Amino acid sequence: MTYVIAQPCVDVKDKACIEECPVDCIYEGSRSLYIHPDECVDCGACEPVCPVEAIFYEDDVPEEWKDYYKANVEFFDELGSPGGASKLGLIESDHPFVAALPADINPAEH
Ligand code: SF4
Ligand code: SF4
């Protein structure tokens, strides 16, 4: 099981969650952050600090954002398990699903 970052993070990337994660498993893509499903220890520390409520426990992802589970998992298909996000820094790519979202997907957050 894992926590998942959903749509409200896209183009917002406030990064408050990164500070809270004890295992450094929240990775930064171009438009969104992604939680590594195998490195996440389900501690829940990141979830309450996200100012836009983008983070959900896997089972609690709202129906409309179910695709983000796949996006968080598949983002790491090529990266594997780096074992720490801070050493990678910004990864200049996104899951294709996130990359294809309209530029104004979160207009209220800009
Ligand atoms: S705190 Fe929320 S908006 Fe900020 S990077 Fe983390 S998931 Fe995205
Ligand atoms: S639930 Fe815990 S381990 Fe998983 S991403 Fe959030 S802070 Fe990191």
Q: How far apart are CA 61 and CA 54, in angstroms?
A: 9
CA nearest neighbour of 95 among 17, 25, 8, 6: 6
Ligand 2 centre to CA of 96 (Å) is: 23
Cα separation, 22 vs 91, in Å, equals 20
33, 17 contact by CB (below 8 A): yes
Q: pTM here?
A: 0.95
Around Cβ 90, how many Cβ atoms within 10 Å?
10
What tokens were used for 56? Answer: 């959900």
pLDDT digits (tens, 9 = 90+) for 28-40: 999 999 999 999 9
User: What is residue 107's predicted lDDT score, i.e. its pLDDT?
Assistant: 77
Give pLDDT tens digits for 59-100.
999 999 999 999 999 999 999 999 999 999 999 999 999 999
Sign of CA dihedral 97, 38, 50, 17: negative
Q: Which residues line ligand 1 (CB under 6 A)?
A: 5, 9, 12-17, 33, 50, 52, 54-55
pLDDT at 1: 87
Closest ligand 1 atom, CA of 16? 1
User: What is the structure's pLDDT at 95?
Assistant: 98
